[in-house]
Structure 1
Amino acid sequence: MVSLFEFAGGDEALHRLEELFYSKALADPVLREVFPERRPHHVEHLTWFTAESFGGPTRFTENLGFDYIIQMHRGLKITDAQRQRFVEVYLAALDEAGLPADEKFREAFRQHVDFGSHVAQQNSLAETDEQLHPLRAVPHWTW
Protein backbone atom coordinates (compact mmCIF):
# COMPACT_ATOMS: atom_id res chain seq x y z
CA MET A 1 0.00 0.00 0.00
CA VAL A 2 1.22 3.49 -0.81
CA SER A 3 2.34 5.59 2.18
CA LEU A 4 0.50 8.70 3.31
CA PHE A 5 3.66 10.61 2.33
CA GLU A 6 3.47 9.37 -1.27
CA PHE A 7 -0.30 9.76 -1.45
CA ALA A 8 -0.05 13.36 -0.24
CA GLY A 9 2.35 14.20 -3.07
CA GLY A 10 5.70 13.89 -1.30
CA ASP A 11 7.96 16.68 -0.13
CA GLU A 12 6.72 19.27 -2.60
CA ALA A 13 3.08 18.94 -1.54
CA LEU A 14 3.87 18.77 2.17
CA HIS A 15 6.15 21.80 1.96
CA ARG A 16 3.38 23.73 0.20
CA LEU A 17 0.95 22.68 2.94
CA GLU A 18 3.31 23.63 5.77
CA GLU A 19 4.03 27.04 4.23
CA LEU A 20 0.31 27.77 3.92
CA PHE A 21 -0.41 26.51 7.43
CA TYR A 22 2.45 28.51 8.93
CA SER A 23 1.43 31.74 7.18
CA LYS A 24 -2.14 31.24 8.42
CA ALA A 25 -0.96 30.48 11.98
CA LEU A 26 1.21 33.60 12.09
CA ALA A 27 -1.76 35.74 11.04
CA ASP A 28 -4.34 34.06 13.28
CA PRO A 29 -5.36 36.06 16.37
CA VAL A 30 -5.90 32.91 18.46
CA LEU A 31 -2.52 31.41 17.51
CA ARG A 32 -0.50 34.63 17.67
CA GLU A 33 0.91 33.85 21.14
CA VAL A 34 2.03 30.38 20.04
CA PHE A 35 3.40 31.66 16.70
CA PRO A 36 4.57 35.21 17.53
CA GLU A 37 7.10 35.55 14.70
CA ARG A 38 8.32 33.77 11.58
CA ARG A 39 11.30 31.54 12.30
CA PRO A 40 13.62 30.85 9.36
CA HIS A 41 13.53 27.03 9.41
CA HIS A 42 10.07 26.38 10.85
CA VAL A 43 8.42 25.39 7.54
CA GLU A 44 11.32 23.10 6.69
CA HIS A 45 11.14 21.44 10.12
CA LEU A 46 7.35 21.05 9.90
CA THR A 47 7.78 19.47 6.47
CA TRP A 48 10.42 17.06 7.78
CA PHE A 49 8.22 16.07 10.73
CA THR A 50 5.08 15.48 8.67
CA ALA A 51 7.01 13.65 5.95
CA GLU A 52 8.61 11.31 8.49
CA SER A 53 5.30 10.75 10.27
CA PHE A 54 3.70 9.77 6.99
CA GLY A 55 6.37 7.28 5.92
CA GLY A 56 8.78 9.58 4.12
CA PRO A 57 12.44 10.39 4.78
CA THR A 58 13.63 10.41 8.41
CA ARG A 59 15.28 13.85 8.23
CA PHE A 60 13.56 15.17 11.35
CA THR A 61 14.94 12.39 13.54
CA GLU A 62 18.35 12.42 11.85
CA ASN A 63 18.85 16.21 11.88
CA LEU A 64 16.96 17.40 14.94
CA GLY A 65 15.82 14.50 17.11
CA PHE A 66 12.52 14.28 18.93
CA ASP A 67 13.76 16.16 22.00
CA TYR A 68 13.96 19.23 19.76
CA ILE A 69 10.19 19.32 19.33
CA ILE A 70 9.63 18.74 23.05
CA GLN A 71 11.84 21.70 23.91
CA MET A 72 10.18 23.92 21.28
CA HIS A 73 6.80 23.41 22.97
CA ARG A 74 7.87 23.58 26.61
CA GLY A 75 6.60 26.66 28.38
CA LEU A 76 4.23 27.75 25.60
CA LYS A 77 1.20 27.03 27.83
CA ILE A 78 -1.05 26.12 24.88
CA THR A 79 -4.70 26.65 25.77
CA ASP A 80 -7.59 24.44 24.68
CA ALA A 81 -8.76 27.22 22.35
CA GLN A 82 -5.30 27.48 20.77
CA ARG A 83 -5.03 23.70 20.39
CA GLN A 84 -8.43 23.52 18.72
CA ARG A 85 -7.69 26.47 16.44
CA PHE A 86 -4.35 24.90 15.45
CA VAL A 87 -6.21 21.82 14.21
CA GLU A 88 -8.81 23.95 12.38
CA VAL A 89 -6.17 26.06 10.63
CA TYR A 90 -4.15 22.98 9.63
CA LEU A 91 -7.17 21.23 8.15
CA ALA A 92 -8.24 24.38 6.30
CA ALA A 93 -4.79 24.56 4.68
CA LEU A 94 -5.23 21.08 3.16
CA ASP A 95 -7.65 22.29 0.49
CA GLU A 96 -5.69 25.43 -0.28
CA ALA A 97 -2.51 23.37 -0.67
CA GLY A 98 -4.27 21.05 -3.10
CA LEU A 99 -3.73 17.88 -1.11
CA PRO A 100 -5.94 14.89 -1.97
CA ALA A 101 -9.58 15.15 -0.92
CA ASP A 102 -9.74 11.39 -0.34
CA GLU A 103 -11.81 10.74 2.82
CA LYS A 104 -9.44 8.13 4.29
CA PHE A 105 -6.43 10.37 3.70
CA ARG A 106 -8.17 13.36 5.26
CA GLU A 107 -9.24 11.31 8.28
CA ALA A 108 -5.69 10.03 8.81
CA PHE A 109 -4.40 13.58 8.51
CA ARG A 110 -7.00 14.90 10.95
CA GLN A 111 -6.12 12.21 13.48
CA HIS A 112 -2.41 12.96 13.06
CA VAL A 113 -2.87 16.70 13.65
CA ASP A 114 -5.30 16.19 16.52
CA PHE A 115 -2.98 13.71 18.26
CA GLY A 116 0.03 15.95 17.74
CA SER A 117 -1.80 18.97 19.10
CA HIS A 118 -2.61 17.06 22.30
CA VAL A 119 1.03 15.98 22.70
CA ALA A 120 2.24 19.55 22.09
CA GLN A 121 -0.28 20.96 24.56
CA GLN A 122 0.69 18.50 27.28
CA ASN A 123 4.39 19.23 26.74
CA SER A 124 3.72 22.98 26.72
CA LEU A 125 2.08 22.75 30.13
CA ALA A 126 4.58 20.34 31.71
CA GLU A 127 6.48 21.83 34.61
CA THR A 128 8.54 18.69 35.19
CA ASP A 129 9.91 15.98 32.90
CA GLU A 130 7.47 13.53 34.50
CA GLN A 131 4.55 15.64 33.23
CA LEU A 132 5.71 15.43 29.61
CA HIS A 133 3.82 13.22 27.19
CA PRO A 134 5.59 9.83 27.04
CA LEU A 135 6.06 10.00 23.24
CA ARG A 136 9.80 10.22 22.47
CA ALA A 137 9.94 9.53 18.74
CA VAL A 138 8.24 10.82 15.61
CA PRO A 139 4.97 8.86 15.40
CA HIS A 140 4.46 6.81 12.28
CA TRP A 141 1.01 7.38 10.83
CA THR A 142 -0.66 5.01 8.39
CA TRP A 143 -4.01 4.44 6.83
Structure 2
Amino acid sequence: MTADRNTTESLFEHVGGREGLHRLVATWYPRVLADPLLHPLFGAGSPSHIDHLTDFLAEVFGGPTTYTDELGGFPALLEVHRGKQISEEQRQRFVDLFLTAADDAGLPSDTRFRTSLRDYLRFGTEVAVQNSHATDDVDLHPCQEVPRWDW
Protein backbone atom coordinates (compact mmCIF):
# COMPACT_ATOMS: atom_id res chain seq x y z
CA MET A 1 0.00 0.00 0.00
CA THR A 2 1.36 3.42 -0.87
CA ALA A 3 1.66 6.25 1.60
CA ASP A 4 -0.70 8.39 -0.51
CA ARG A 5 -3.48 5.81 -0.41
CA ASN A 6 -2.95 5.26 3.29
CA THR A 7 -3.56 8.94 4.07
CA THR A 8 -6.94 9.00 2.31
CA GLU A 9 -8.11 5.56 3.37
CA SER A 10 -10.28 5.43 6.50
CA LEU A 11 -9.42 3.11 9.36
CA PHE A 12 -12.65 1.27 8.49
CA GLU A 13 -11.36 0.59 4.98
CA HIS A 14 -7.89 -0.28 6.25
CA VAL A 15 -9.19 -3.08 8.51
CA GLY A 16 -11.25 -4.62 5.71
CA GLY A 17 -14.55 -2.90 6.41
CA ARG A 18 -17.33 -4.47 8.43
CA GLU A 19 -16.05 -7.96 7.60
CA GLY A 20 -12.65 -7.26 9.16
CA LEU A 21 -14.19 -5.66 12.25
CA HIS A 22 -16.70 -8.48 12.63
CA ARG A 23 -13.86 -11.01 12.48
CA LEU A 24 -12.02 -9.01 15.18
CA VAL A 25 -15.01 -8.79 17.51
CA ALA A 26 -15.96 -12.44 16.94
CA THR A 27 -12.40 -13.42 17.89
CA TRP A 28 -12.33 -11.16 20.96
CA TYR A 29 -15.82 -11.68 22.43
CA PRO A 30 -15.55 -15.34 23.53
CA ARG A 31 -12.30 -14.44 25.28
CA VAL A 32 -13.86 -11.78 27.48
CA LEU A 33 -16.76 -14.08 28.32
CA ALA A 34 -14.28 -16.77 29.44
CA ASP A 35 -11.93 -14.39 31.26
CA PRO A 36 -12.40 -14.55 35.06
CA LEU A 37 -11.59 -10.85 35.47
CA LEU A 38 -13.94 -9.64 32.72
CA HIS A 39 -16.74 -12.20 33.03
CA PRO A 40 -18.47 -10.22 35.82
CA LEU A 41 -18.81 -7.27 33.43
CA PHE A 42 -20.14 -9.33 30.52
CA GLY A 43 -21.97 -12.18 32.25
CA ALA A 44 -23.19 -14.87 29.89
CA GLY A 45 -23.00 -12.45 27.00
CA SER A 46 -25.60 -11.50 24.45
CA PRO A 47 -26.17 -13.01 21.01
CA SER A 48 -26.39 -9.51 19.52
CA HIS A 49 -23.25 -8.09 21.16
CA ILE A 50 -20.85 -9.08 18.36
CA ASP A 51 -22.97 -7.36 15.70
CA HIS A 52 -23.64 -4.31 17.87
CA LEU A 53 -19.97 -3.83 18.75
CA THR A 54 -19.04 -4.38 15.10
CA ASP A 55 -21.47 -1.63 14.09
CA PHE A 56 -20.13 0.67 16.81
CA LEU A 57 -16.49 0.18 15.76
CA ALA A 58 -17.42 0.55 12.09
CA GLU A 59 -18.87 3.97 12.86
CA VAL A 60 -15.92 4.95 15.06
CA PHE A 61 -13.44 4.07 12.32
CA GLY A 62 -15.20 5.93 9.53
CA GLY A 63 -17.74 3.43 8.26
CA PRO A 64 -21.55 3.47 8.16
CA THR A 65 -23.50 5.13 10.97
CA THR A 66 -25.64 2.07 11.69
CA TYR A 67 -24.92 2.20 15.43
CA THR A 68 -26.26 5.73 15.71
CA ASP A 69 -29.07 5.31 13.17
CA GLU A 70 -30.44 1.99 14.40
CA LEU A 71 -29.05 1.19 17.85
CA GLY A 72 -29.39 4.39 19.88
CA GLY A 73 -25.94 5.87 19.38
CA PHE A 74 -23.60 6.93 22.14
CA PRO A 75 -26.29 7.53 24.80
CA ALA A 76 -27.26 3.85 24.55
CA LEU A 77 -23.64 2.85 25.02
CA LEU A 78 -23.32 5.11 28.07
CA GLU A 79 -26.26 3.34 29.70
CA VAL A 80 -24.69 -0.08 29.19
CA HIS A 81 -21.67 0.92 31.28
CA ARG A 82 -23.49 2.65 34.15
CA GLY A 83 -22.98 0.97 37.48
CA LYS A 84 -20.43 -1.56 36.21
CA GLN A 85 -17.64 -0.08 38.39
CA ILE A 86 -14.95 -1.09 35.90
CA SER A 87 -11.52 -1.32 37.54
CA GLU A 88 -8.22 -0.28 36.00
CA GLU A 89 -7.18 -3.95 35.94
CA GLN A 90 -10.36 -4.85 34.01
CA ARG A 91 -9.83 -1.94 31.60
CA GLN A 92 -6.28 -3.07 30.86
CA ARG A 93 -7.31 -6.73 30.40
CA PHE A 94 -10.01 -5.63 27.95
CA VAL A 95 -7.39 -3.75 25.91
CA ASP A 96 -4.87 -6.60 26.06
CA LEU A 97 -7.43 -9.16 24.86
CA PHE A 98 -8.58 -6.80 22.12
CA LEU A 99 -5.06 -6.27 20.79
CA THR A 100 -4.36 -10.01 20.87
CA ALA A 101 -7.62 -10.61 19.01
CA ALA A 102 -6.54 -8.03 16.40
CA ASP A 103 -3.43 -10.12 15.79
CA ASP A 104 -5.33 -13.40 15.72
CA ALA A 105 -8.05 -12.01 13.42
CA GLY A 106 -5.42 -10.92 10.92
CA LEU A 107 -5.97 -7.18 11.18
CA PRO A 108 -3.25 -5.00 9.68
CA SER A 109 -0.10 -4.88 11.77
CA ASP A 110 1.41 -1.69 10.39
CA THR A 111 2.60 0.72 13.07
CA ARG A 112 0.36 3.56 11.97
CA PHE A 113 -2.80 1.48 12.25
CA ARG A 114 -1.82 -0.18 15.52
CA THR A 115 -1.01 3.21 17.06
CA SER A 116 -4.46 4.51 16.05
CA LEU A 117 -6.10 1.37 17.41
CA ARG A 118 -4.25 1.62 20.74
CA ASP A 119 -5.07 5.33 21.01
CA TYR A 120 -8.74 4.65 20.39
CA LEU A 121 -8.80 1.76 22.88
CA ARG A 122 -7.21 3.97 25.52
CA PHE A 123 -9.79 6.70 24.91
CA GLY A 124 -12.75 4.33 24.66
CA THR A 125 -11.91 2.32 27.74
CA GLU A 126 -11.23 5.45 29.79
CA VAL A 127 -14.68 6.75 28.80
CA ALA A 128 -16.20 3.38 29.76
CA VAL A 129 -14.48 3.43 33.16
CA GLN A 130 -15.60 7.00 33.86
CA ASN A 131 -19.18 6.21 32.90
CA SER A 132 -19.17 2.97 34.89
CA HIS A 133 -18.47 4.96 38.07
CA ALA A 134 -20.89 7.82 37.35
CA THR A 135 -23.48 8.30 40.05
CA ASP A 136 -25.48 10.81 38.01
CA ASP A 137 -25.49 12.42 34.56
CA VAL A 138 -23.05 15.14 35.67
CA ASP A 139 -20.37 12.48 36.22
CA LEU A 140 -20.73 11.02 32.72
CA HIS A 141 -18.11 11.64 30.07
CA PRO A 142 -19.11 14.73 28.06
CA CYS A 143 -18.92 12.90 24.72
CA GLN A 144 -22.52 12.50 23.53
CA GLU A 145 -22.04 11.00 20.10
CA VAL A 146 -20.05 8.14 18.68
CA PRO A 147 -16.47 9.37 18.37
CA ARG A 148 -14.98 9.34 14.88
CA TRP A 149 -11.42 8.06 15.00
CA ASP A 150 -8.90 8.68 12.26
CA TRP A 151 -5.23 8.28 11.57
TM-score, normalising length: structure 2: 0.93
Q: For residues 46-89 of structure 1, what are the alpha-carbon distances to aligned partners after superposition, in whole Å with 9 as ceiling and x for unaligned?
A: 10010000000000010122111000000111011101111111
Matched AA of 1:27: A
1:120 aligns with 2:123: no
Matched AA of 1:98: G
| Deviation at residue 24 of structure 1 after TM alignment | 0.8
Secondary structure at the aligned position of 1:56 is classed as coil
Detail structure 1 runs of 4+ shifted over 2 Å in the superposition. none
- Mapped partners of 1:120, 1:38: distance in 2: 17
Which residue of structure 1 lines up, in the alignment, with residue 31 of structure 2? 24
Larger radius of gyration: 2
Q: Which of the numbers 22, 45, 55 marks the counterpart of 2:62?
A: 55
- Mapped partners of 2:33, 2:122: distance in 1: 19
Matched AA of 1:104: R
Q: Within 5 Å, give how 1:1-143 maps onto structure 2.
A: 1-64=8-71, 65-143=73-151
RMSD over aligned Cα atoms: 0.7
Matched AA of 1:108: S
- Mapped partners of 2:37, 2:90: distance in 1: 6
| Deviation at residue 109 of structure 1 after TM alignment | 0.5
Unaligned segments of structure 2, at least 5 residues: 1-7
- Mapped partners of 2:116, 2:138: distance in 1: 29
| Deviation at residue 127 of structure 1 after TM alignment | 0.4
